[in-house]
């Protein structure tokens, strides 16, 4: 309460000082809170690489069980579900069991991080920390499938075909989102000469690379008319490349030139990869027959393939924006999680099924060579179908705006014609 003899000026000064102190305290609290969020965000981003490393080790473990498990993992011979000779826990069956363990781990992470939105939530701490507990859960998840009956493992193998297909679809969605980003980044409008010219330059490079790749495939894999299947694959790929280029240059579309160039290179790569996956006994495949399992070129190719699997899964997993179908412009806040945890773990769980299919060449009953990955007619046709599907989806993405525009214009013209006739 104001004293009778206290000047009014002193009261105003004290009020200003208390307001300054309150503002200063709020500023300090905001800085501390921002620092805490920064640390938690950093932990969350670092966690992605740890999960990626776990996935990489799982791939190596699946390879080891497939190719060398029967020599070194003698303890599995004493497990009932592994059979008399332990064959139900090695080779393709061993890969499926490791894949199932990886699927269980990432599925459990998916469930426990579902709808995590804020950095201060317990689900964020679970995703980014508690590594000792999660390693224990991972080891338990990998060991449990080795006591599961073989019938269930065969059922999982059938489901893994579906999961691998879902993974390829998610990968395609991520790729198309990346292509859209490239167009918006390097070819935003016709008035921007710098970005436009650079985009045209990149488009030219990708198209030239696509055409050179097609020519090289004709030289290497279409040696004569007896190589009809390879000639068909390469020719159809060349047709798709030409169609995508023509559509992107059409006056009604007139967009996506850079993205179509990248997509052309991608489908040419898929065609080459499909031909490479043909059995080594094919005379039209210039890949030399391996004199023995495990020469250095085979080992190097195998390791590169594993790294490609991990990178494909990792890059798709961190691209959560591609799978957020609501396009509302919601302003992100400081305490929001940096990426979608549930999408990340879901894609890794599908990736577990995908790597299983690659290690067994999409066939559960066919033997595989040591140090081989994704080799066989089933693998070849999966890649070819993936190529055709990717090209079809991308072509629809190019022409759909023009088609929708025409559908929107036609009703208006019809109404005008009716009014004129009346």
Question: Residue 266: is its pLDDT beyond 60?
Answer: yes
User: Does residue 149 lie within any of the structural domains?
Assistant: yes
Residue 8 has pLDDT above 90, yes or no: no
The tens digit of pLDDT for each residue in 113-164 reads 998 888 888 999 999 999 999 999 999 999 999 999 999 999 999 999 999 9
- Alpha carbons 11 and 319: distance in angstroms, whole number: 57
- Is residue 291 pLDDT above 50, yes or no? no
**CA atoms 339, 342, 343, 349: torsion sign:** positive
pLDDT score of 138 = 97
Cα distances from 337 to residues 113, 134, 322, 349, in angstroms, run: 11, 20, 16, 21
* Rounded average pLDDT over 251-273: 87
Q: Write the pLDDT tens digit of every residue in 43-81.
A: 999 999 999 999 999 999 999 999 998 888 888 878 888
pLDDT tens per residue, range 369-400: 888 888 889 999 999 999 999 999 999 988 88
Decide if 32 is inside a domain. Answer: no
In three-state secondary structure terms, 22 is helix
Residue 394: count other Cβ atoms within 10 Å of its Cβ.
Answer: 25
Residue 411, in any domain of the structure:
yes
Residue 401 CB partners (closer than 8 Å, separation 6+): 253
Highest mean pLDDT pick, 9-18, 137-146, 195-204, 324-333: 137-146
Q: Are 186 and 202 in contact (CB under 8 A)?
A: yes
The DSSP annotation for 279-331 comes to: -TT-TT--SPPPSSTT-HHHHHHHHHHHHHHHHHHHHHHH-GGGG------PP
Residue 422 pLDDT more than 50? no
Which tens digits make up the pLDDT trace of 349-360? 999 999 999 999
pLDDT interval class at 317 (50, 70, 90) = confident
Token readout for 295 is 């020469």
For 96-116, write each residue's pLDDT tens digit.
999 999 999 999 999 999 988
pLDDT tens digits, 163-217: 999 999 999 988 888 888 887 777 756 555 555 677 788 889 999 999 999 999 9
Domain interval for residue 127 = 39-323+335-421
Check residue 398 and give its pLDDT.
87
Mean pLDDT of all residues in 21-37 = 67
Q: What is the three-class DSSP state of 118?
A: strand
Count of Cβ atoms closer than 10 Å to residue 82 Cβ: 22
CA torsion angle 374 375 379 381 (round to 10): 150
The answer to whether 107 and 345 are in contact (CB under 8 A) is yes
Q: Are 160 and 96 in contact (CB under 8 A)?
A: yes
3-class SS at 336?
strand
**What single string gives the DSSP state of each residue in 142-208?**
HHGGGGS-HHHHHHHHHHHHHHHHHHHHHHHHHHHHHHHHHHHHH-S-SS-HHHHHHHHHHHHHHHH
Q: Which of these, 189, 193, 375, 214, lies nearest to 281 by C-alpha position?
A: 375
Across 149-153, 301-305, 331-335, least confident range? 331-335
- The CA-atom distances, in angstroms, between 333 and each of 27, 117, 211 are 17, 10, 46
- How many domains, the chain? 1
Range in 97-111, 276-290, 330-344 with the lowest mean pLDDT:
276-290
Task: Identify the CA nearest to 176 among candidates 339, 340, 382, 396.
Answer: 396
> Using an 8 Å Cβ cutoff, are 226 and 238 in contact?
no
- Residue 154, C-beta contacts closer than 8 angstroms, at least 6 positions apart: 96, 364
Mean of per-residue pLDDT scores for the chain? 83
Rounded-to-integer distance, Cα 256 and Cα 262, Å = 10
Long-range Cβ contacts of 216-221 (<8 Å, 24+ apart): 217/268, 217/271, 217/272, 217/275, 220/286, 221/275, 221/284, 221/285, 221/286
**What gap in Å lies between CA 257 and CA 184, rounded to an integer?**
11
Report yes or no on 129 lying in a domain. yes
In-domain check, residue 299: yes
* Whole-number pLDDT of residue 34: 74
Closest CA to 248 of 136, 112, 364, 397: 397
Distance of CA 176 to the CA centre of its chain: 11
In sequence order, the 6+-apart residues with CB closer than 8 A to the CB of 220 are 286
Nearest 5 degrees, angle CA 241-CA 392-CA 227? 55
Position 13 scores a pLDDT of 54
pLDDT at position 1 over 60? no
């Amino acid at each position: 309460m104001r004293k009778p003899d206290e000047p009014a000026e002193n009261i105003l000064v004290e009020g200003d000082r208390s307001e300054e102190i309150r503002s200063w305290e709020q500023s300090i609290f905001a800085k501390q809170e921002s620092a805490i969020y920064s640390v938690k965000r950093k932990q969350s981003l670092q966690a992605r690489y740890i999960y990626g490393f776990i996935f990489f080790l799982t791939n190596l473990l699946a390879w080891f069980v497939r190719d060398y498990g029967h020599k070194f993992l003698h303890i599995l011979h004493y497990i009932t579900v592994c059979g008399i000779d332990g064959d139900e826990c090695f080779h393709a069956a061993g890969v499926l069991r490791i894949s199932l363990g990886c699927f269980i781990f990432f599925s459990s992470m998916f469930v426990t991080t579902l709808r995590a939105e804020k950095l201060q939530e317990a689900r964020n701490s679970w995703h980014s920390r508690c590594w000792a507990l999660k390693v224990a859960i991972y080891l338990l998840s990998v060991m449990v499938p080795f006591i599961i009956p073989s019938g269930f493992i065969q059922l999982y193998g059938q489901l893994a075909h579906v999961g691998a297909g879902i993974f390829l679809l998610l990968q395609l969605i991520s790729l198309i989102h990346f292509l859209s980003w490239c167009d918006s980044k390097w070819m935003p409008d016709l008035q921007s000469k710098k970005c436009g010219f650079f985009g045209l330059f990149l488009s030219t490079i990708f198209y030239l690379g696509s055409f050179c790749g097609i020519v090289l495939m004709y030289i290497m894999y279409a040696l004569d008319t007896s190589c009809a299947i390879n000639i068909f694959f390469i020719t159809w790929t060349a047709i798709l490349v030409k169609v995508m280029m023509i559509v992107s240059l059409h006056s009604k579309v007139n967009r996506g030139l850079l993205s179509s160039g990248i997509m052309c290179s991608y489908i040419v790569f898929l065609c080459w990869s499909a031909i490479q996956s043909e059995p080594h006994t094919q005379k039209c495949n210039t890949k030399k027959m391996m004199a023995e399992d495990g020469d250095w070129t085979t080992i190097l190719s195998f390791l590169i393939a594993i790294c490609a699997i991990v990178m494909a899964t990792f890059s798709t997993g961190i691209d959560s924006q591609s799978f957020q179908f609501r396009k509302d412009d919601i302003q992100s806040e400081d305490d929001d999680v940096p990426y979608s945890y549930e999408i990340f773990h879901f894609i890794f769980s599908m990736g577990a099924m995908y790597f299983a299919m690659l290690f067994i060449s999409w066939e559960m009953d066919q033997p595989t060579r040591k140090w081989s990955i994704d080799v066989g007619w089933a693998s070849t046709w999966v890649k070819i179908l993936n190529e055709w599907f990717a090209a079809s989806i991308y072509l629809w993405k190019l022409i759909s705006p023009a088609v929708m525009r025409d559908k929107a214009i036609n009703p208006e013209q019809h109404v005008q014609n009716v009014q004129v006739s009346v």
